[in-house]
Structure 1
Amino acid sequence: MISKVAIIILNWNGWEDTIECLESIYQIAYPLYDIILVDNGSKDNSIQKIKDYAEGKIKVESQFFDYSPDNKPLYLKEFTKNELDSSVSIKKSIDSLAPNKNLIIIKNDNNYGFAEGNNIGIRFALNNLNPDYILLLNNDTVVDPYFLKELITVAESDSLIGILGPTVYEYKSPQVIQSAGAKIYWNKGEVINLTPNENKYSDEPENVDSVIGCALLAKSELFHKIGYLNKDYFAYLEETEWCVRVSKASYKIVYVPKGKIWHKGGATSNKITGFTLFHHTRNKFWFMKKHSSKKQYISYLIYFFGFRAWMIIGGIFYRQKNKEILPSLISFLKGIRDGILT
């Protein structure tokens, strides 16, 4: 029996990236999936542009694939967040959709962040589509035709595997590995993306501490047992925090080398000065307070205030434009304050 996958893609003012991602998915060699596009209150006419793509009115150009008009038009269903929160029956209205050729759009009234934006899509999938797996996929990615098949094959080889991630390559340098899973260095509070050298590269799946959130496949049962992404994080480290919760529940986190995607990175967060600095800094304190031991947390504080903070401040002055230095510093300091005090 073929496992069913619900693919959740979050869009916020990034329709050009999103339709390239969508086109790559509609060309994958996997027979049973639904795509749920969650729009986080975009103001750039994203919804209409994505609908135009679904109708075959926009031809997508990419270095990774040739555009195919054969899978258009897509079967399209739209829902607002208010409709999902109401008692309106949704399930019957999507029963007629054809697998692999449908697009479900959820229109949020506001930007709920990466964590809650994905949670909205996950809840919809679990309540209405009955998937065996949930795939969280960033809109600024392009996928290999066989990536999902590789992930599912490994997932079904071991009932204790809960989360899987592919090899993530750089979009602009397609042979460069951005992430091959991640390792958590608890004494420093660092989550480091693993990037194996080619001469050490293996096709065999490996257990890791976490996988990068731009492409995370999870068994649906986990959301019932462990819960959803922590919405308070808004963006950054929410997938790592969730991976740790899953690991504490005795599930394995596995990196699958044969699964391949390409990731642009920062396509959304770079639009707002200080966004990454604030959320990453605050969330790191929250993450360490919740999941590290007392000894590890003290070690982290010493490392952060004795070394890491000064490196970040130096980087702000070195990398940022003059007009962005003060807002970036303020964002960083607010992240420290909120991370420690809340």
Structure 2
Amino acid sequence: MLPNIRGSSSEILSVLDKVSSVAKINRPILILGERGTGKELVAQRLHYLSQRWDKPFVAMNCSALSEGLVDSELFGHEAGAFTGANKQHQGRFERAESGSLFLDELGTMPLNVQEKLLRVIEYGQYERVGGSKMINTDVRLICATNTDLVKASQDGTFRADLLDRLAFDVIHLPPLRYRKEDILELAEHFAISMCRELGLSHFEGFSQSAIKQLLDYHWPGNVRELKNVIERAVYQHNSSSQPIEHIIINPFVSPWNLSDQKFENAPIREAEPTNTEPKEASINKLPKDLKQWLCDKEREWVELALLKSQFNQRQAAKQLGLSYDQIRGLVRKHSVRKTLD
């Protein structure tokens, strides 16, 4: 089934046009892109748009296996090839015969395996580990990595001749931060899917502040990170009656430690007069117990935000640049009452 790669930006449409064009040519293809940009989806699209669409599509992550296992898993092994090899094992090339083999994280492949892979590309032949018989193969190779292979070849960690053979054409996937017009389209798609999974009747959308959060963030994890963030937001919001107001992008920020929080919104404090006192006078005002002073100040700001928002904790959190869970944690920490004297 042809994978649906969402987006209408010129950057992603250009990639899809290139994929459609190169899919028809029976040559190795290299896909380059940051983590989470959809390299495997593009590899699948290359396969299903090719003349091999009705043959196997087999994938292997090179970084998930040790050096010895990469060799065996890729080319197979004979019975008795090593300790524990009780029977002949069919490798990925054999399983992908007449179809396409997708090798992800290619930059982690050991040099000795790279040499064997080069022989497969040049002569269409390989040997199983522990075997002596040459096996002919007809497999279209699609490789992907987020490693700089040119630099790796200069450093000697990747074979330059293999890089030449693989680079019949190179598909560069754009990071999500360079296709901002696709962010909301993708976010709504992930949100609707999550609503269905949770049994919610419909998706009410995102508030303007949530939209700003999504568009302002730089998305180092790209589409994969966006999917996680949106699914978490829908699950925590768990409502079809109101749009999502606040999105927690970093779930690792502790609700009990304000020093971990990188404020995205301006603080609610009023402008303070410039301190013109001499440095010596300021030093004399240092708190005797810094930890207690910080705790008291933290409570003061929480109470002030709650008063300004009429004890609406979501609004108070927004004013302080915190998540809803964080403000709840601070209310519990300081035992803030629902009415303040």
Instruction: Tell which has more relative contact order, 1 or 2 (C-alpha 8 A, sep 6+).
Output: 1
| Structure that is richer in helix per residue | 2
Larger gyration radius, structure 1 or structure 2: 2
What's the TM-score once normalised by structure 2's chain length? 0.28
